[in-house]
Amino acid sequence: MNLALINGKAFIKGKLVKANILIQGKKIEKISASKIKADKEIDCKGKIILPGAIDVHVHFRSPGFEYKEDFFTGSLAALHGGITTIMDMPNTKPVTSTVKALEAKRKLVKKHCLTNFGIYMAALNNNLSEISKAKNLRAVKLYYGSTTGNILMNKKTAIEKLFKTAKKKGFVVAVHAEDEEIMKENEKKFRKSKDPAIHEKIRNEEAEAKAIKEVLSIQQKAGNKIHIAHISSEKGLNLVKKAKKRRNGNKVTCEVTPHHLFLDSSDYKKLGNLIKCNPSIKGAKHRKALFNGLKNKAIDLVATDHAPHSFKEKKQSYGKSPSGIPGEETMLPLLLDAVNKKQISLKRIVEAVSEKPAQVFGWKNKGFIKTGFDADLVIINPTGKYKVENNKLFTKAAYSPWNGKTLKGRVENTIIGGQVFG
């Protein structure tokens, strides 16, 4: 049985064009301006077809924290958000820091995950031999500053060795870049305050900038692929920009999250710990710098850092409330809403959520609508409205900072390897 998407416009080679798409099995078989006949047809009149989004940064929490999320609910949320591939972070229980844990997680994910998936290994000060042994590893996560899970790697000699191995084996090192010492000092200073807005003062711009500077200086010598996760400050971004121009700068990339693009410190007042996340959401000047960075390509890609916790956990006082914001269902609608408001081009969005993630993380045959590529697609109603409602979300963390907001740009169907959802 084959399937045709007819009468729609598809995003091909940098622009929207009238195109009928024939899908055979898991692949895109043919793209044509003229009529295509197939066993099954989906009429895409008035719709646009984009390559499925590739979210290179999610926490689906399994094994160990299934009460927060699991691979079924996480991937269900993903496909409702037009995301066809996810890459899961290693701060689970056990931590994905050994080959054994990696293989066990792969088995579990295969069984429950509806989307394509990749799995990060955690880099520790003492697990390089495990990382070296791992097969088909796309990426490792280096927690230079600690966050949920208290995993830490900040010994320079160990990082130098890791980067050399990354260069040799070709995997990407994604870095959580915040400086432990600065954060600890700030914590002491603000110990008495319970206001969620102090999060920005504890995990401040200096903490991010110092960490980024240090890891990038090691990378400059080693020449490995490095990816700065969830960039959150103007200084941090300027350091990445500078690094991209120097030796081995072509191996430097970075991502921004929807929450750092669409929220700023003025939102703590209303949303409190619901928007507590690491690195922190900072002032409006940072948000603007990040948005501009996405527009002018200083920032390579958008990833959700989907980090669900239970509502009960999040509602605790500042010190107890865990950091993290869910984002699978809202990333694409938020970005499409920004396109509708003429704040950014559709071209830039497709590059940032599909094309660049595929290129940086080595997802061959994904990220583009091309003959022979995987049929991972999303059908969008570009002017359709999507109201974010906590009680309609598929993530187990049934809350969103955008609860109640109506966005223009609606995900209608998601197609993964030729299989239609929605």
Give me the active site residues, please: 305
257: helix, strand or coil: coil
Residue from 58, 114, 277, 407 touching ligand DOR (CB under 6 A): that is 277
The two tokens of residue 60 are: 């689906």
Residue 286 interacts with ligand DOR (CB under 6 A)? no
Residue 376 interacts with Zn ion (CB under 5 A)? no
- The number of beta carbons lying within 10 Å of the beta carbon of residue 173 is 27
Cα atoms in the Cβ-side hemisphere of radius 13 Å centred on 236 = 36
91 binds, among Zn ion, ligand DOR, none (CB under 5 to 8 A by kind): ligand DOR
- Smallest distance, Å, CB 413 to ligand DOR? 30
Instruction: Identify residues 93-152 at the interface with ligand DOR (CB under 6 A).
Output: 147-148
Site track for ligand DOR across 50-89, x = CB under 6 A: ---------x------------------------------
Amino acid occupying residue 2 = N
Query: What's phi and psi for 236, nearest 5 deg?
Result: -60, -45
CB-based burial of residue 312 (10 Å sphere; 0-12 exposed, 13-18 middle, 19+ buried)?
Answer: exposed
Window of 46-54, 75-83, 300-308, 313-321 that interacts with Zn ion by CB under 5 A:
300-308
224: helix, strand or coil: coil
Residue 21's beta-bridge partner residues? 5, 31
**Residue whose entry in the numeric block shows the structure tokens 């507590």:** 276
Window of 7-15, 263-271, 317-325, 334-342 that interacts with ligand DOR by CB under 6 A:
317-325
Residue 255 interacts with Zn ion (CB under 5 A)? no
Taking the C-alpha atoms of residue 375 and residue 369, their distance in angstroms, rounded to an integer, is 8
Q: CA dihedral in degrees (231, 200, 403, 409; nearest 10)?
A: -30
* CB closer to Zn ion out of 258 and 409: 258
Window of 103-111, 151-159, 180-188, 320-328 that interacts with ligand DOR by CB under 6 A:
320-328
Taking the C-alpha atoms of residue 36 and residue 307, their distance in angstroms, rounded to an integer, is 42
227: helix, strand or coil: strand
Residue 323 interacts with ligand DOR (CB under 6 A)? yes
- Smallest distance, Å, CB 278 to ligand DOR? 4
Residue 278 interacts with ligand DOR (CB under 6 A)? yes
Residue 4's beta-bridge partner residues? 22, 41
Residue with nearest beta carbon to Zn ion: 305
Residue from 179, 305, 328, 374 touching Zn ion (CB under 5 A): that is 305
Sites of contact with ligand DOR (CB under 6 A): 59, 91, 147-148, 176, 277-278, 307, 322-324
Sites of contact with Zn ion (CB under 5 A): 305
